Structure 1
Amino acid sequence: MNVLFLCTGNSCRSLLSEAVFNHLAPPGWKAYSAGSQPMGQLNPRAVALLQRKGISTEGYYSKSWNALPLIPDLVITVCGSAAGETCPAYLGPVLRAHWGVDDPSHVEGSEEEIEAAFEQAYRILRARIEAFFALPRNVDLRPELDRIGTLGVKC
């Protein structure tokens, strides 16, 4: 299975998702990330966070969805709503889900507050990816993907 984590800038949340997914993925499963308007560089805080967690960032870069090497089986958008983001819409014939996470790179405040926002985004995305991998292989993915997309959201 090939999964695309899609966002606007492809520098932070989609990168976190791609790296965590690939770190945890069983053989034959691969994640990619891309953006509709890529920043052209990875967020240094996101890269440092992944490195602290022991997750490789080698070979990852900020790229456009036009540069994908294949058509994914599943597209998961990870844009949040706090900054009034417009999530890109992947129009290909694939299964789609939305796992919105607010962008920690837009958080202002002390170093501790900013780092806490990055940790929170990482924890939410990791919990969702772990829940995805825990699904039985014969389950109907559509409702499960929607359910997983609500994990970690405060009501």
Structure 2
Amino acid sequence: MEEKVYNVLFLGTGNAARSVMAEALVSTMGNGRFRGFSAGSNPAGAVDPLALEQIAPTGYPAGALRSKSWDEFAAPGAPLMDFIITVCDEAAGEACPYWPGHPLTAHWSIENPAAFGDTANDRRAAFHRAFYAIRAHLNIFVSLPLHMLEKHALHHEVMAIGRTIA
């Protein structure tokens, strides 16, 4: 029996850093069990080069990453999501579009690396911290026995990841 591949959409505001890093990480850490996507409520129009720098060692194709609106994933014909996770506190407070298929939703508060640092080294360090915070969340997420948990228990576990790692 072929194992289900879960679609996971990570949401931010600008879709330039945290959500993009999460898209790449879940896709590479999930051993083929997860397909990552990312979007923003107010897309920046480009992925931050420091986010791409963090993603590069994962082997995820940088050409597949772009800053895009969350409206793409609410439109007819968009892939159905199993999980939608906000990684930005501002996006978590916004009114989201209707998501077809009733995916499980959760919020994982990750500090915005673009808001830190006056020097290039400080900014790079902030992106590094955000990348590893996302990776810590995803280490737990990708190890959940998704096929064994009923929907309510699964929702509780995914939400708890955001409260456990701060």
Listed as ranges, the gaps of 5+ residues in structure 2 are 1-5
Q: Distance in 2 between matches of 1:133 and 1:28?
A: 8
Maintained 8 Å contact 1:132/1:145: yes
Which stretch has the larger CA shift, 96-105 or 21-30?
Answer: 21-30
- Following superposition, the deviation at residue 115 of structure 1 comes to 1.6
Q: Which amino acid aligns with 1:132?
A: F
> TM-score when scaled to structure 1?
0.86
Report the secondary structure of 1:51's partner residue: helix
Residues 1-150 of structure 1: pairs in structure 2 closer than 5 A: 1-68=6-73, 69-80=78-89, 85-87=90-92, 88-90=94-96, 91-92=98-99, 93-137=102-146, 138-139=148-149, 140-150=153-163
Maintained 8 Å contact 1:124/1:151: no
Report the secondary structure of 1:61's partner residue: coil
Q: CA RMSD in A?
A: 1.8
**Higher helix fraction: Structure 1 or Structure 2?**
2
> TM-score when scaled to structure 2?
0.81
Maintained 8 Å contact 2:12/2:91: no
- Following superposition, the deviation at residue 112 of structure 1 comes to 2.7
Q: 1:113 to 1:152 in 2, by over 3 A?
A: farther
Report the secondary structure of 1:122's partner residue: helix
Q: Which amino acid aligns with 1:25?
A: G
Report the secondary structure of 1:97's partner residue: strand
* % identical aligned pairs: 34
Q: Which amino acid aligns with 1:143?
A: H
Maintained 8 Å contact 1:127/1:151: no
Q: Distance in 2 between matches of 1:26 and 1:51?
A: 17
